[in-house]
Structure 1
Amino acid sequence: MKSKGVLYKPYVDLKIADDSFVKLYLDSSDYNRIKVFKRQTLLEERKKVVVKALTREISKGETPFLYCVKLVGFDIVSGETLPGKSEVPIDDYN
């Protein structure tokens, strides 16, 4: 990822089909436009964010990695936002 220049770039996980996901890396300015939408609020309101972007592929695999060349726009629509990953507590062994 370092050779692709995205190691420290922010990213979002996007669902692109019923069971397909991609990891979309963005510039900080584009990420700041999207991050204002809080997952919990979207879940409560039964809304989701639809992202429109021009991308280039960084790597293929089970979860493809894409880089956002240009964030064209985004819309808030009715639908299910994916719940976040469940947090597993880490015991303090000290």
Structure 2
Amino acid sequence: MFSSLLILGFMSLASVNGLPSHEVAAYPPKSIAKAFKLVVKMTDPSKDFDAPVHNSYVNLAPVDSDRAAASPGTRGTVFFRNGTKTEQAAGQSTVLTDE
């Protein structure tokens, strides 16, 4: 009986303790990002390639550390805008990808 009460007491202390408030405040605030995929749209369908690219997604393939080659495909690279509308208007935002 005494051991059951002792274990129950330790469990209640452990559940009350949690994380100190200074550790919780160290995490950055959560934000939401909307992803998008780029789609190829041909303005003049008569000038499309032999293998049509109209309505296909843009895929990126890394060439080296700071360049990528774009090609049409079915999967599509996911892009994210990094910055707020205000930062974008000031030219301070960037575009990231999942690659």
Normalising TM by the smaller chain, what interval? under 0.3
Q: Which has the larger radius of gyration?
A: 2
TM-score if structure 1 supplies the norm length? 0.28
TM-score if structure 2 supplies the norm length? 0.27
The answer to which structure, 1 or 2, has the higher relative contact order (CA under 8 A, 6+ apart) is 1
